[in-house]
């Protein structure tokens, strides 16, 4: 008997986005381990920005694949409250995948900086003039959402494990 799974393209896209999100978090968090002015520390924030941009660039194709291929059935089916919680969590995750990279871009632009291309001297110019008034607020919001989404990502991961080992349904297998 075959297990209902997401299409291979959807599974690949999911895990690529996971890698980008994990990279963005790791690059931001581990940056402080390296002395200021070192090449590795200098490369970490541009790589962080590009991990976020990668997430943003994959969002529309990912949603397109979801619309095209659909969502495989959960066996056994979830209760109404479980479906609602799943929709809420996935909505929050997709919102995060959209909003966080946009906030990161707005931070750079509000500082008058462009988007640096890693390991080069190329910078993609900002699309608007700097405005210090919004920079602090946008940066605070970006950091707040990053902290909130540690919990949302943790909830998502814990739910997958709950479904696999406690509920014993096919939720996790659909994405493997």
Instruction: Provide the residue-wise pLDDT of the chain in tens; the chain has 176 residues.
Output: 456 899 999 999 999 999 999 999 999 999 989 999 999 998 898 899 999 999 999 999 999 999 999 999 999 999 999 999 999 999 999 999 999 999 999 888 888 888 877 777 888 888 777 766 788 889 999 999 999 999 999 999 999 999 999 999 999 999 99
Domains: count for the chain: 1
Smallest CA-to-CA distance from 72 within 173, 167, 142 is with 173
Q: What is the pLDDT of residue 3?
A: 65
Is 152 within a domain?
Answer: yes
Q: What is the pLDDT of residue 79?
A: 92
Taking a C-beta distance cutoff of 8 angstroms, is the pair 20, 50 a contact? no
Please name the residue that has the structure tokens 């599974």: 11
Is 144 within a domain?
Answer: yes
Smallest CA-to-CA distance from 156 within 142, 138, 175 is with 175
Is 127 within a domain?
Answer: yes
Query: Is the previous residue joined to 76 through a cis bond, with omega within 30 degrees of 0?
Result: yes
Tell me the pLDDT tens digit for each residue of 44-72: 988 999 999 999 999 999 999 999 999 99
Is 1 within a domain?
Answer: no
For 27, half-sphere exposure in the C-beta direction (CA atoms, 13 angstrom radius) is 20
Tell me the pLDDT tens digit for each residue of 1-12: 456 899 999 999
- Within 10 angstroms of residue 54's Cβ, the number of other Cβ atoms is 18
Is 3 within a domain?
Answer: no
Is 2 within a domain?
Answer: no
Domain that holds residue 27: 8-175
SS3 of the chain: CCCCCCCHHHHHHHHHHHHHHHHHHHHHHHHHHCCCCCHHHHHHHHHHHHHHHHHHHHHHHHHHHHHHHCCCCCCCCCCHHHHHHHHHHHHHHHHHHHHHHHHHHHHHHHCCCCEECCCCCCEECCCCCCCHHHHHHHHHHHHHHHHHHHHHHHHHHHHHHHHHHHHCCCCCHHHC
Q: What is the pLDDT of residue 163?
A: 94
Is 61 within a domain?
Answer: yes
Q: What is the pLDDT of residue 153?
A: 93
Residue 99: CATH number of its domain = 1.20.950
Is 158 within a domain?
Answer: yes
Torsion-angle region of 166 (φ positive above 0: left; ψ -120 to 50: alpha; else: beta): alpha
């Amino acid at each position: 008997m075959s297990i209902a799974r997401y299409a291979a393209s959807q599974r690949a896209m999911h895990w690529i986005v996971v890698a980008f999100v994990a990279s963005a978090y790791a690059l931001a968090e581990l940056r402080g381990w390296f002395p200021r002015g070192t090449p590795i520390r200098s490369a970490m924030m541009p790589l962080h920005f590009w991990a976020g941009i990668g997430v943003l660039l994959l969002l529309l194709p990912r949603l397109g694949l979801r619309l095209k291929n659909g969502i495989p059935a959960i066996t056994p089916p979830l209760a109404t409250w479980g479906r609602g919680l799943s929709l809420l969590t996935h909505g929050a995750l997709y919102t995060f995948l959209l909003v966080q990279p946009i906030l990161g871009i707005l931070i750079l632009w509000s500082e008058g900086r462009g988007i640096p291309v890693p390991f080069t001297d190329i910078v993609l110019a900002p699309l608007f003039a700097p405005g210090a008034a919004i920079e602090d607020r946008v940066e605070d919001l970006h950091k707040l959402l990053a902290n909130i989404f540690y919990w949302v990502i943790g909830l998502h991961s814990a739910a997958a494990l709950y479904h696999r080992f406690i509920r014993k349904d096919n939720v996790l297998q659909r994405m493997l």
